[in-house]
Amino acid sequence: MNLLITGGAGFIGSNFVRYWNKKYPHDNIVVYDKLTYAGNLENIKDVLNSPSLEGGLGRVMFQKGDICDLNDLESTVKDNHIQTIVHFAAESHVDRSIEAPDDFIQTNIIGTFKILELLKKYPEIRLHHVSTDEVYGDLPLDRPEIKFKEDDKYIPSSPYSASKAASDHLVRAYIRTYGIKATISNCSNNYGPYCFPEKLIPLSITRALNDQEIPVYGDGKQIRDWIHTEDHAYGIDLILEKGKLGETYLLGGNGERENIWMIKEILKLIDKPESLIVHVGDRKGHDHRYAIDYSKAKKELGFEPLKPVAERLRETVEWYKNNESWWKELKTKADVIAEKYLEKRI
């Protein structure tokens, strides 16, 4: 099979590329990425332009491009005889969307629209659209029995989640109106290798390794349902194999944890003191809790996270400890953001 992976040089996309290349060594993958601040060819250098990880005939190729450029997108699809598109490309950091929402509207909404317009012309191509649980808003901290389900109402809280909600609606509209072949998945918070160090887990790991203060929004009691990128890739694999066209599937990590728990656990794993934690003013419109009911994916696809969150977190910490060369230069940008947060210490 020939796949086009939009945003394949980013955090989640690159982990999916590596997963697919290893599991399906005879498939050809074209990584289509604009290489913005979070897109990095270093994320896929071990598989790029070389035979597959398992010695098959498939290859991973890179095409720099913008999903908003329909002509370039079409040329890439035609030249590489693309059969399946997995659409990861998105602006994804909530704080950035609050400060500067323009890029989120352009990439997440207009970019998805361009892909959908392309599929009107090439209806034989299968699309999988990757989205977020943040489109559903948030859940109360005192009602642990309530979790997001596929048919829940969309109540996005930030420009980021609003832009992803809009892109989901566009995909559904094109499925119904134009008959394109597509599925959607909404996942919880991802963690794992190659995550840009401005996000909570890699920020905490890299700053702890350097004995730097770690900013924590408010009391840190916000709850996220963490999913490792390998489990996320596995879920998308199952959707492409068994998922029903036109359907949406929620993918969770079975890993509901408070943010403060994750940070304290990271400090234990690195053997650093909790005194590095600094509580800062909370994010505007901060969602309290995310939790996913993935029973539909479990029943229809057989999806289940492959490992528990504590084990996955240990693996993630070890990866960052062993790959300082990857994150060292990127950390400079993340530290600027962290120091800005620390100015609002409580």
Active site residues: 133-134, 160
Record the tokens describing residue 31, joined without a space. Answer: 């990584």
First to last CA, the chain: 53
Asked if residues 264 and 274 have their Cβ atoms less than 8 Å apart, the reply is yes
Residues 6+ apart with CB under 8 A from 215: 278, 280, 338, 341, 342, 345
Question: What CA–CA distances, in Å, run from 330 to 18, 24, 202, 253, 276?
Answer: 21, 31, 11, 27, 21
Nearest CA-CA partner of 194 in 1, 9, 6? 9
The rounded distance, in Å, linking the Cα atoms of 13 and 321 is 22
The rounded distance, in Å, linking the Cα atoms of 67 and 89 is 8
Q: Coil, strand or helix: which one is 63? A: strand
Give the DSSP H/E element, type plus range, for residue 257: strand 256-258
One DSSP character per residue, 172-209 reads HHHHHHH--EEEEEEE--EESTT--TTSHHHHHHHHHH
Burial of residue 315 (number of CB atoms within 10 Å: 0-12, 13-18, 19+): middle
